[in-house]
Amino acid sequence: MKHRSLITLALIIVSFQLSIVNSFAQLTIEQCYEKARANYPLIKQYGVIEQMRNYSLANAAKAYLPQFSLSGKATLQSDVTRIDIAVPGIEIPTPDKDQYQVVAEASQLIWDGGKTSVRKEMLNANAEADKQQVESELYAIGERVNNVFFGILLLEEQLVRQGELENELQRNREKVQSYVDNGVANDADLSAVKVEQLKAGQQRIQLESSLKAYRQVLSVLIGKQLDDTKLVKPNIEEHTADIAINRPELKLFAARQTQLETQDKMLKTNNMPVIGAFAQGGYGKPALNMFKNEFLPFFIGGIRFSWNFSNLYTYSNDKKNIELQKMLVDSQRETFLHNLNTQIPLQQNEIDKYRKTMRDDDEIIRLRQIIKESAEAKVENGTMSVLDMLRELTEFELAKQAKSLHEIQCLMAIYNLKQTIN
């Protein structure tokens, strides 16, 4: 009985802990990337491309399966083969001008010059290029996630600072009210504090409205309602100067080069001969013996050889065209890397700028707090107006907001750099 009570108590504690975890769900930016990618409609194309490749490869593999055909014809000829030589005692029959034939044929490809193998390579190359195109388009979602995610963090930080400002204003209102009661200040001073409180309330409404809109946008991106989900602010990590670019566009350029290489192989195989075996069985009038003017069955079997030389007319130009397309892809790749290499230093400098700026934020806040406390003391002593004190209070709160802004801007710059280089 005692053991049962302990087990029940343990289950209650575990369920309570789970409920706490669920009620304070958290979401990192990496999880947002994954969810936004999985939620984006374009992701469905991956499955479609893979199925199309499988079906096409299955069809290509059937090139070496026996092929069957059935054909028939009925003809009326203006003339027929005849022997116009009279042989005593021998009658040479003449075929009828109306002739009929039904033929069933079975053929087996023996060697196609490598066409089937290259066709499979081309199907794989085309599918890979299509998938890399989708991957490149999906990658752009990360930039949207960055903008919305860090926008939410910034608005949340501003709301925290706004709350601190409102608390300070309320504290000062109570002080000024006591000053008015004691004759140190007048109603105009109290009105000035009330005006600042009203302005702070308006600012809070704007921030809360913007935050609600940003959270709704992120919900649409990741396909999940955020509700009370808390976004986890990443740590500001050191970035390295040694940057290796690993963008999906580079794989797309490589896939396009592979496509062109398989096209080059296909040009060569199109100029190769084709060898196959065949067997025909038929029924017609006449059959194989043209001098038997009656319906008879017949059979033919053998090896078939064909070689089409017409592709040689355009082979040289087609090959040059493929080489030019390769040059075009190389140019696109170089242009893409050039643009990234000009963008990366700017983003690195931006990160360094925010890091240097953040070094002075704490000192500015410390000094502003001293000035604010001094202003409050002067008001209490009657040597400074309430309006001047409120101005110093606003500057103090703006200094704290600036620190939060610089931190979020630095984080966003770091993740924008990550997005640039992948």
Nearest-5° Cα angle at 97, 93 to 99: 100
Q: Is the pLDDT of residue 209 over 60?
A: yes
Confidence (pLDDT) at 18: 41
End-to-end CA distance of the chain: 59
Q: What is the mean pLDDT of residues 124-136?
A: 89
Q: For residues 192 and 175, is the Cβ–Cβ distance under 8 A? A: no
- Residue 102 resides in a domain: no
Please name the amino acid found at residue 415. Y
Sequence-distant (6+) residues with CB within 8 A of 152 are 211, 214, 215, 218, 231
- Residue 359 resides in a domain: yes
- Residue 229 resides in a domain: yes
Q: Is the pLDDT of residue 1 over 50?
A: no
Per the model's pLDDT, the better-predicted residue between 193 and 101 turns out to be 101
Q: What is the mean pLDDT of residues 216-221?
A: 90
CA pair distance 409, 100, nearest whole angstrom = 86
Q: For residues 108 and 277, is the Cβ–Cβ distance under 8 A? A: yes
The pLDDT > 90 percentage for the chain reads 14
- Residue 281 resides in a domain: no
Weakest mean pLDDT among 16-25, 55-64, 79-88, 103-112: 16-25
CA pair distance 123, 126, nearest whole angstrom = 5
How many domains, in total, are found in the chain? 1
> How is residue 196 written in tokens?
């600042």
pTM: 0.78
For residue range 349-368, list pLDDT tens digits in order.
Answer: 988 888 888 888 888 889 88
Ramachandran sector of residue 203 (left: φ over 0; alpha: ψ -120 to 50; beta: rest) = alpha
CA pair distance 298, 279, nearest whole angstrom = 11
- Residue 205 resides in a domain: yes
Query: In sequence order, what DSSP letters do the residues of 246-294 get, joined into one string?
Result: --HHHHHHHHHHHHHHHHHHHHHHTTS-EEEEEEEEEEEES-SSTT--S
> How is residue 249 written in tokens?
């566009």
For residue range 176-191, list pLDDT tens digits in order.
Answer: 788 788 777 788 878 8
Q: Is the pLDDT of residue 324 over 90?
A: yes
CA pair distance 414, 352, nearest whole angstrom = 10
In terms of Cα–Cα distance, which of 197, 201, 209 is closest to 155? 209
Confidence (pLDDT) at 102: 92
- Residue 282 resides in a domain: no
Q: Is the pLDDT of residue 130 over 50?
A: yes
Looking at residue 325, which CATH number applies to its domain?
1.20.1600.10
Computed over every residue of the chain, the mean pLDDT equals: 83
Contacts of 154-160 with CB under 8 Å at 24 or more apart are 154/404, 154/405, 154/408, 155/207, 155/210, 155/211, 155/214, 156/211, 156/231, 157/401, 157/404, 157/405, 157/407, 157/408, 158/207, 158/401, 158/404, 158/405, 159/204, 159/207, 159/208, 159/211, 160/404
Q: Is the pLDDT of residue 8 over 60?
A: no
- Residue 279 resides in a domain: no
Secondary structure (3-state) at 230: strand
- Domain range for 368: 24-65+112-272+307-421
Q: Is the pLDDT of residue 302 over 60?
A: yes
> Measured between alpha carbons, how far is residue 28 from residues 80, 160, 362, 409 in Å?
88, 20, 27, 17
Helices (H) and strands (E) counted in the chain, each on its own, are: 9, 6
Q: What is the mean pLDDT of residues 116-125?
A: 88
Weakest mean pLDDT among 107-121, 234-248, 383-397: 234-248
- Residue 400 resides in a domain: yes
Q: Is the pLDDT of residue 418 over 80?
A: yes
Confidence (pLDDT) at 14: 42
Q: Cα torsion at 199, 201, 206, 211 (round to 10°)?
A: 140
